[in-house]
Amino acid sequence: MPASIFSFSKLSDIPFTAIDRSFIDKYDIYLRTQRRLATSAVDFHTTRLKMIVSEATRLFLLLCYY
């Protein structure tokens, strides 16, 4: 994950259980406002994060997504 997610969460290790729809929505806003990223860059980062969480769910590392 890009360093910005750790700046956003202020944690060095983010548990999967902390990543829910609200977290992703707030991260999206952070990328747009604080980091001033273009829409395509924001979409890239949030899609990547969603893919990681989906894979964790598929592997039963995370029981509930959203």
pLDDT, position 19: 86
Q: Indicate the pTM of the whole model.
A: 0.78
Q: Which two tokens stand for residue 41?
A: 């860059």
Please answer whether residues 24 and 50 qualify as being in contact, where contact means their C-beta atoms are separated by less than 8 angstroms. Answer: yes
In angstroms, the CA 61 to CA 10 distance is: 23
Q: Where are the alpha helices (DSSP H) in the chain?
A: 3-9, 21-33, 39-58
60 — pLDDT class (breaks 50, 70, 90): confident
> Is the confidence at residue 3, as pLDDT, over 90?
no
Q: Which amino acid is at 24?
A: I
Please answer whether residues 28 and 46 qualify as being in contact, where contact means their C-beta atoms are separated by less than 8 angstroms. Answer: yes
Q: What is the pLDDT of residues 17-57, one digit of tens each?
A: 888 889 999 999 999 999 999 999 999 999 999 998 888 88
Q: Which two tokens stand for residue 23?
A: 């977290």
> Is the confidence at residue 61, as pLDDT, over 90?
no
pLDDT, position 39: 96
